[in-house]
């Protein structure tokens, strides 16, 4: 009997050694098409697969799993394991991170956008907020300030924005409303058609989106330095799926995030920002440059938005002042103040 048991143990050990680690396959919901805005997701999938010898793979779907405005809902029910969404799509579902969408915060570049997003994402109240949707924040999708392209005569002053119909969401929409414009939350992939059909006069996007969604093809002018704000678009994982990863696979995922973000930044600089002026020239798009006085007028008109955000969110039990101060402190640190 002893010999039999020893033999059985050896056989079992041999099977265990010969059996490969359990394969892990995640479905990832994004939208549109592969572009600068999704390059960190693509790179993350590559790195995770490389580090696990193909045992942990990610299938990235561009609109095949969910509408972009419903990705957080899909995460909450486990319809897929990872997704990208933008806070402005549904402020009520993610109120804490909308602090990053307030206008004229003073973010100067993509690196600063990453830094302030990381600071906010790490706050316990923000993590608790997203956990209501069974979502774990992994990384941001840093975007430049949402300057606008428009049709017709350029809107060269604060007064010119009165009555202007603009595609803008979240805090950015509030900012334009404060200067008399009429914001609408047309989905990003419908922005071109909205301009073509004269539903909107202008569209507020980062440069890559103006290219990807072809709104630049409709434009006659571009606001070079308005810099009213941007949207915040996290990448999240379903908490159950994340916690269910093996230690090796979890380490592969976690250790790949910083490199994926750096890949995004490098790619954006090379393939979008460095070429933007050339594209404007090729398409004969006029640059609209605002004076310091005009920009001061925009800031004055929108200064109450942050105050109202703090008041409203505080009434919901959110540490709004703390989150706003966190962003302000981080930016002062980055600016050497």
User: What's domain 22-142+231-271's architecture?
Assistant: 3-Layer(aba) Sandwich (3.40)
β-partners of residue 25 are: 57
Q: What is the model's pLDDT at position 185?
A: 86
Question: Can you tell me the distance from the alpha carbon of 81 to that of 68, in angstroms, rounded to the nearest whole number?
Answer: 15
At which residue do the structure tokens 């980062």 appear? 206
Question: Can you tell me the distance from the alpha carbon of 160 to that of 155, in angstroms, rounded to the nearest whole number?
Answer: 5
Establish how many alpha carbons lie within 13 A of residue 208's alpha carbon, considering only the half-sphere containing its beta carbon: 23
Q: What is the model's pLDDT at position 108?
A: 83
Whether 113 has a pLDDT exceeding 70, the answer reads yes
Lowest mean pLDDT among 33-37, 56-60, 240-244: 33-37
How large is the average pLDDT for residues 72-77? 98
Whether 171 has a pLDDT exceeding 80, the answer reads no
Question: Can you tell me the distance from the alpha carbon of 71 to that of 54, in angstroms, rounded to the nearest whole number?
Answer: 26
Lowest mean pLDDT among 8-22, 35-49, 108-122, 255-269: 8-22
Q: Are 54 and 25 in contact (CB under 8 A)?
A: no
How far are the Cα atoms of 4, 123, 315 from residue 86, in angstroms, in the given order?
Answer: 61, 18, 23
How large is the average pLDDT for residues 101-115? 92
What's the sign of the alpha-carbon dihedral 204, 32, 108, 319?
Answer: positive
Whether 264 has a pLDDT exceeding 80, the answer reads yes
Cα 14 off chain centre by:
47
Question: Can you tell me the distance from the alpha carbon of 301 to that of 179, in angstroms, rounded to the nearest whole number?
Answer: 6
Question: Can you tell me the distance from the alpha carbon of 312 to that of 89, in angstroms, rounded to the nearest whole number?
Answer: 18
Whether 14 has a pLDDT exceeding 50, the answer reads no
* Residue ranges matching CATH 3.40.190.170 in the chain: 22-142+231-271, 148-230+282-334
Assign a CATH topology to domain 148-230+282-334.
D-Maltodextrin-Binding Protein; domain 2 (3.40.190)
pTM of the model: 0.82
């Amino acid at each position: 009997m002893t010999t039999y048991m020893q033999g059985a143990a050896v056989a079992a050990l041999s099977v265990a050694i010969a059996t490969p680690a359990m394969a892990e396959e995640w479905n990832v919901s994004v939208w549109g098409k592969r572009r600068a805005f999704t390059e960190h997701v693509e790179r993350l999938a590559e790195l995770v697969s490389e580090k696990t010898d193909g045992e942990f793979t990610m299938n990235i779907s561009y609109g095949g799993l969910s509408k972009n405005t419903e990705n957080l809902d899909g995460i909450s029910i486990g319809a897929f394991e990872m997704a990208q969404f933008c806070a402005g799509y549904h402020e009520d579902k993610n109120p804490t991170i909308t602090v990053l969408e307030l206008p004229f915060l003073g973010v100067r570049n993509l690196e600063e956008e990453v830094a302030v997003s990381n600071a906010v994402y790490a706050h316990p109240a923000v993590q608790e907020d997203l956990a209501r949707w069974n979502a774990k924040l992994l990384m941001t999708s840093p975007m430049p300030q949402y300057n606008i392209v428009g049709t017709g005569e350029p809107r060269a002053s604060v007064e010119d924005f009165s009555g202007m119909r603009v595609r803008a969401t979240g805090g950015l929409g509030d900012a334009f409303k404060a200067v008399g414009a009429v914001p609408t939350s047309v989905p990003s992939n419908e922005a071109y058609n909205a301009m073509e059909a004269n539903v909107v006069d202008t569209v507020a996007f980062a440069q890559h989106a103006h290219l990807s969604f072809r709104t630049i093809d409709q434009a006659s002018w571009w606001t070079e330095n308005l810099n009213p704000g941007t949207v915040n678009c996290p990448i999240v994982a379903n908490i159950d799926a994340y916690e269910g990863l093996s230690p090796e696979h979890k380490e592969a995922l976690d250790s790949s995030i910083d490199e994926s973000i750096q890949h995004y930044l490098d790619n954006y600089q090379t393939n979008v920002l460095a070429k933007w002026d050339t594209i404007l020239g090729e398409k004969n798009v006029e640059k609209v440059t605002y004076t310091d006085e005009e920009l001061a007028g925009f800031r004055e008109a929108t200064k109450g938005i942050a105050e109202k955000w703090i008041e409203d969110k505080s009434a919901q039990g959110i540490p709004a002042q703390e989150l706003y101060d966190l962003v302000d402190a981080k930016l002062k640190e980055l600016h050497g103040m």
